[in-house]
Amino acid sequence: MYAGGGAGPVASGLSSVEVAPIEGKAGWLVRNALNDRLGQTGSTSQNPRYRLDVLLDDKLEGLGLLTDDSVGRERRTLRARYQLVDIASDEVLLDATAGSDAGIDVVSSEYATIAAEETALENLSKEVADRIVARLALTLRNSS
């Protein structure tokens, strides 16, 4: 897939993807992770050929009720629907979804629980970005 290294068609295709702004904190995290993985040194590509539009759905739900009716476990789910658009023709080359989830133990310290929720969001953002970039690479390899 990555034949030719940094000068190969997949690598040059990935570096010509501009990630559109994504709403919210999760959006900021995912966009930064995508830019890191796409080789963007700034916030946008210098000569973008493609635009990546991403919509996120971030959910935090309580699971595992304890005997005192308090939540003992939470699940954080991050889902992304994304489209790779050819800027010149405005053609959608890829329309797909990616997602991941993480379990969080709810402990007596509210601070520790909030920190665990934030860490889960950071980790999920990176994992979703990895999945998106892998799919983009396959799409760009097949189109070249």
Query: Mean of the pLDDT values across residues 86-112?
Result: 94
Q: Considering the chain, what is the average pLDDT of its residues?
A: 88
- The model's confidence at residue 45, banded by pLDDT at 50, 70 and 90, is very low
Three-state DSSP state, 24: helix
* DSSP designation for 19: E
Over its C-alpha atoms, the chain yields an Rg (Å, rounded) of 18
- The model's confidence at residue 40, banded by pLDDT at 50, 70 and 90, is low
Range of the domain at 111: 5-143
pLDDT higher at 34 or 10: 34
Q: What is the pLDDT of residues 50-88, one digit of tens each?
A: 999 999 999 999 887 777 878 889 999 999 999 999 999
Residue 42: is its pLDDT beyond 60?
Answer: no
- Coil vs helix vs strand at 45: coil
Which domain CATH number covers 12?
3.30.160.150
Q: In the chain, how many domains are there?
A: 1
Range of weakest confidence among 2-6, 90-94, 129-133 = 2-6
In whole angstroms, give the CA distance from residue 105 to residue 102: 10
- 44 pLDDT more than 50: no
